[in-house]
Amino acid sequence: MLKGKILLSTVVLGLIFLSGCFIFNDSTENRGKQKEMAKEKMIFTFLGAPGSGKGTLAQRCANNLGFEVLSTGDLFRQHISNKTNIGKKLNEYMEKGQLVPDELVVKMVKEWLTSRSDSDKSIILDGFPRTSLQAKKLLEIIQQDMPNYVFKIVKLEIPQEEISQRLVNRRVCSNKRCQAIYNTSMPEISSGKCPKCGAELLQRKDDTPEVIADRFEVYNKHEKELINFYESEGLEIEKLNVSQKTPDIIFQDFKKML
Ligand SMILES: [Zn+2]
């Protein structure tokens, strides 16, 4: 009887010991996985014509996934208002009405990116890179300074006719403090007044088919240059179909790509 009890308790103790080993193994394995996950930080760049919804998608990723978004436009303004060395140079080019050289844009982006290389957040680059030279420099920065990031290119696909129609039908509230945006298909704006504040709704001067077509032409040229560069580097361009989809659906579809 006693022997039986000793045997039983040995077996129980043995089991406890073994399960302890399993738990231990499991947790080390999990730690390994977490380490691997931590490496899966991503730097995204979006391709897509103006009006395809890149900015909206980036904003959702920031709000819901905690991504950091770099907007080169915002960064320009920050440097200029803080009167940094980069800001002073930017000002010179802008005052002369000259294009900001790639070199200066890259320097500014590099500074921003490397200041975040220790963070655990993924990054979206909004409006960068715009040229193949900027793209080349970006790949160098990631390789040299941010080796724990994976670079991903996502192309938002939508017929330009669809964007053009949307922009032509766009109406904006003339009240500077409201600036609500509507579409002529919304019945609540049939009176031509803003349902929120009552001010008059206007069509933006550059929301005409001619101006929009010009913008597309400029964009398409840049995009082609970028795609040629990415393909020459053997990088995959992932496609996200955004045609006839709401920002919510687009965001859900994007999350499936992560
Ligand atoms: Zn309004």
- Catalytic residue, from 41, 54, 60, 152: name it: 54
Residue 58 lies in a domain: yes
Comparing CA positions, the residue from 224, 222, 126, 217 lying closest to residue 164 is 217
Q: What was the pLDDT predicted at 9?
A: 59
- Is residue 130 flagged as an active site residue? yes
User: What is the CA(186)–ligand 1 centre distance, in A?
Assistant: 15
For 201, phi then psi, to 5°, come to -95, 140
Q: What was the pLDDT predicted at 40?
A: 80
Q: Taking residues 38-67, report their average pLDDT.
A: 90
Q: For 210-248, what is each residue's pLDDT tens digit?
A: 999 999 999 999 999 999 999 999 999 999 999 999 999
User: What is the CA(205)–ligand 1 centre distance, in A?
Assistant: 18
Q: What was the pLDDT predicted at 117?
A: 81
Query: SS3 for 180?
Result: coil
Residue 86 lies in a domain: yes
pTM summary value: 0.77
Q: How far apart are the first and last CA of the chain?
A: 60
User: What is the CA(195)–ligand 1 centre distance, in A?
Assistant: 7
Residue 78 lies in a domain: yes
Residue 211 lies in a domain: no
Pairwise CA distance, residues 68 & 122, whole Å: 6
Residue 182 lies in a domain: no
- Is residue 215 flagged as an active site residue? yes
Residue 179 lies in a domain: no
Q: Strands 41-47 and 149-157, how do they pair?
A: parallel
C-alpha angle with apex 218: 244 to 240, nearest 5 degrees?
30
Residue 191 lies in a domain: no
Per-residue confidence at 34, pLDDT binned at 50, 70, 90? Answer: very low
- Is residue 166 flagged as an active site residue? no
Pairwise CA distance, residues 133 & 256, whole Å: 31
Number of domains making up the chain? 1
Pairwise CA distance, residues 156 & 47, whole Å: 6
* Residue 126 belongs to domain with CATH number: 3.40.50.300
Q: What was the pLDDT predicted at 127?
A: 84
- Is residue 205 flagged as an active site residue? no
Residue 228 lies in a domain: yes
Residues in the chain: 258
Q: What was the pLDDT predicted at 6?
A: 56
- Residue 104, pLDDT above cutoff 80: yes
Q: For 160-191, what is each residue's pLDDT tens digit?
A: 999 999 899 999 999 999 999 999 999 999 99
Domain assignment of residue 66, given as a range = 40-159+218-256
Per-residue confidence at 70, pLDDT binned at 50, 70, 90? Answer: very high
Q: Taking residues 36-51, report their average pLDDT.
A: 81
Beta-carbon count within 10 A of 207 CB:
18
Structure tokens at 73: 């436009």
Q: For 196-216, what is each residue's pLDDT tens digit?
A: 999 999 999 989 999 999 999
Residue given tokens 């500077």 in the structure block? 176
- Is residue 33 flagged as an active site residue? no
Q: Taking residues 92-116, report their average pLDDT.
A: 93
Strand order in the sheet with 237-241: 68-71, 123-126, 41-47, 149-157, 237-241
